[in-house]
Amino acid sequence: MITAFLSALLLVSFQEPRVPETGLRDAVQQKLDAFIAAGKVPGVSVGVVAPDGTELALAAGLADREKKIPMRPDDRLCGGSSGKTFVAAVALQLVEEEKLALDALLGEYLGEEKWFERLPNYQDITLAHLLGHRTGIARHEFDPEFIKAVMSQPDRVWKPAEMVAYVLDRPPPFAAGKGFAYSDTNFILIGMVIEKVTGKTLYDEIDRRLLVPLKLDGVRRQDSRTLPGLVQGYLGAQNPFGAPEHSLAADGRFTINPQFEWAGGGFVENGGALARWAKALYHGPVLKPATRELMVAGLPADPIGPGIRYGLGCQIWPSANGPCWGHAGFFPGYLTEMRYWPEKSTAVAVQVNTSEYAALPKSLGALCEELLATVLERK
């Protein structure tokens, strides 16, 4: 159990952000306005935490094109796989508390499940393999039959084992620990392990350990078709899911049940809160320094991009300002990028309410780098 002392530390460290000077705010806002003007992105939400603790939460563009509603800094967007960082942080806290072990076999926690021995590489998978996507387990989330079920049953509440069922009995592409293949299924299994060990729901543990003590009010569990503060998302007419172009129907409900993402992401967020989380995770007291070093060490993960490494629930990108840590996110209608540069002590998070990559005038990673440069010029 996280100690009261650690909770107090989290509050003391992050409850009093510095107020940005007008020049920095204006410079960042100009970058966002230019980003919207140069492409076909409806809206953008951005958070920045500068080296001196200055925090910015800004937005540009539209939260809803048809209704002409401006995007606001406190609006929420689906964060996709950026939510894996919350799940990984809880798992690693449990490792610190000796309730989990990175080298422990998955069977120690889930071996009694009836389906367990049908899981690819079930005899050799460890918690570290799951956190690093090195299990050889396929990803259920893009399985055509799974997508069909999600689209045709929009009110279905998915149980973790029902999602894992889509990968059972499949031949693995490599032995556990011998390759990299990104898969939400790995984190669904981690979520099941966390609940087994703690006796609490995954969301309750994340709230108790992270969101409440850090006062991350902009982050909320993605657990139903109605999500307060969520802006409209745009998938495009030719999206690969055959889904409606809009994420939200006229009544404000999601056209599918986004609850299915769960431990694979499972949160709605805004850029301001996400940047604060990045600074807390990679620079603050969420994890012990030795644990954080394990999280961000990483091994080659070329399938998700040249030069990218993947640690324990953490992407590591090369950059002109040194390596940066964080996670990208995709959910139908939304894209997210969260980055932290340890050599510059700066966090930047960017979210847009479209999942059409062609609508972007530049990648979200490039926009993060541009905003970092803006901060460094002003600081």
Report the phi/psi class of residue 315: left, alpha or beta, with left for phi > 0 and alpha for psi in -120 to 50: beta
Give me the pLDDT at residue 16, please. Answer: 52
Tens-place pLDDT, residues 179-222: 999 999 999 999 999 999 999 999 999 999 999 999 999 999 99
Contact by Cβ (8 Å): 61, 44: yes
Q: How many helices (H) and strands (E) does the chain have?
A: 12, 12
pLDDT digits (tens, 9 = 90+) for 143-191: 999 999 999 999 999 999 999 999 999 999 999 999 999 999 999 999 9
More confident residue, 375 or 239: 375
| Three-state secondary structure call for residue 58 | strand
pTM for this prediction: 0.94
3-state secondary structure of 256: coil
The DSSP secondary structure of 125-151, one letter per residue, reads -BHHHHHTT-S-PPPGGG-HHHHHHHH
Q: What is the pLDDT of residues 22-57, one digit of tens each?
A: 699 999 999 999 999 999 999 999 999 999 999 999
Give tens-digit pLDDT for 119-151.
999 999 999 999 999 999 999 999 999 999 999
pLDDT value at residue 258: 97
The three-state secondary structure class of 122 is coil
At residue 160, the pLDDT reads 98
Looking at residues 74-92, what average pLDDT do you find? Answer: 98
Q: What pLDDT is attached to residue 11?
A: 43
Q: How many whole angstroms separate alpha carbon 295 and alpha carbon 377?
A: 30
CB 85 within 8 A of CB 287: no
Q: Please, are residues 45 and 351 in contact by the beta-carbon 8 Å criterion?
A: yes
What is the pLDDT, as a whole number, of residue 241? 78
Tell which residue, 54, 88, 58, 84, has the closest CA to residue 346: 54
What pLDDT does residue 53 have?
93
Instruction: Give the distance from CA 245 to its chain's centroid.
Output: 23
324-371 pLDDT, tens per residue?
999 999 999 999 999 999 999 999 999 999 999 999 999 999 999 999
Topology of domain 4-378 in CATH is: Beta-lactamase (3.40.710)
* pLDDT for the residue 6: 44
Residues 6+ positions from 28 with CB-CB distance below 8 Å: 46, 48, 56, 58, 371, 374, 375
DSSP for 322-366, written as a single string: S-EEEEEEEETTEEEEEEEETTTTEEEEEEESB--GGG-SS-HHH
- pLDDT above 50 (res 7): no
Residue 1 has pLDDT above 50, yes or no: no
Structure tokens at 5: 């002392």
Q: What percent of the chain has pLDDT over 90?
A: 91
* Mean local confidence (pLDDT), 93-109: 98
Q: Decide which of 15 and 88 is more confident.
A: 88
For 114-143, b/e burial (b = at least 16 CB within 10 A) is eebeebbbbebbbbbbbbbbbbbbbbbbeb
Q: What is the pLDDT of residues 227-283, one digit of tens each?
A: 999 999 999 877 777 788 999 999 999 999 999 999 999 999 999 999 999 999 999
Q: Identify the pLDDT of residue 17.
A: 55
**Domain extents for the chain?**
4-378
